[in-house]
Amino acid sequence: MGILEILLISFGLAMDAFAVSICKGLSMNKINTKKTVLIGAYFGFFQASMPLIGYLLGRGFENFVTQIDHWIAFILLLFIGTNMIREAFSQDKDENNDDTSLKTMLILSIATSIDALAVGITFAFLGVNILTSILTIGIITFITSCIGVIIGNKFGNKYERKAEIFGGVILIIIGIKILIEHLFIG
């Protein structure tokens, strides 16, 4: 998996955090740099940590699944991407508030990074450079989350649904690409 795929996965994974950041920005009367960076740091840290945890779990089972790793990656990415798209059209939206307490941010950070855990498992099966991957995921999520807070505060939730759909489509496309590469090319 090359840097382009890692970048695309990073942006795809960051879309949940971006959407939640928009909601956080929307609910803030006035944003400030401290809260913006704090929100970005929480999301970036957890979005980078979860693939590492998934990678370590996946490495433990590598010998058992090397023959079907491409199917696992495809199914996980398809499931995650489809779920993101489904959530974009869901009428059940969480209440927004500008609370950035430890409890609130931990819950949001974990909830938006669960899909990154599954991606980390696929990284283990595909032999991806995990350090480069988690740094890229963390940095991109941090930046997009900070931007999300600003956009949310300025423009409201106009882009939330589009961000979730975009992220889901990216993950599905990458899953299909992995499957095709392993079945027909490699």
* Structure token pair of residue 183: 């079945």
More confident residue, 173 or 94: 173
Residue 160 has pLDDT above 70, yes or no: no
| Better-scored residue on pLDDT, 21 or 27 | 21
Residue ranges of domains in the chain: 3-91+99-181
Question: What percent of the chain has pLDDT above 70?
Answer: 87
* Top-ranked range on mean pLDDT: pick from 40-49, 57-66, 157-166: 40-49
Least confident of 38-42, 66-70, 77-81: 66-70
pLDDT of residue 150: 92
Q: State the chain's mean pLDDT as an integer.
A: 82
Q: What secondary structure, in 3-state letters, does the chain show?
A: CCHHHHHHHHHHHHHHHHHHHHHHHHHCCCCCHHHHHHHHHHHHHHHHHHHHHHHHHHHHCHHHHCCCHHHHHHHHHHHHHHHHHHHHHCCCCCCCCCCCCHHHHHHHHHHHHHHHHHHHHHHHHHCCCHHHHHHHHHHHHHHHHHHHHHHHHHHHHHHHHHHHHHHHHHHHHHHHHHHHHHHHHC
- CA nearest neighbour of 122 among 69, 49, 61: 69
Cα 50 to Cα 119: distance, rounded to the nearest angstrom: 9
pLDDT-derived band at 186, boundaries 50, 70, 90: low
> How high is the pLDDT of residue 65?
59
User: Mean pLDDT over residues 84-110, rounded?
Assistant: 75
Query: 106 or 63: whose pLDDT is higher?
Result: 106
Q: Is the pTM value of this prediction over 0.75?
A: no
Q: Can you give the pLDDT at residue 69?
A: 66
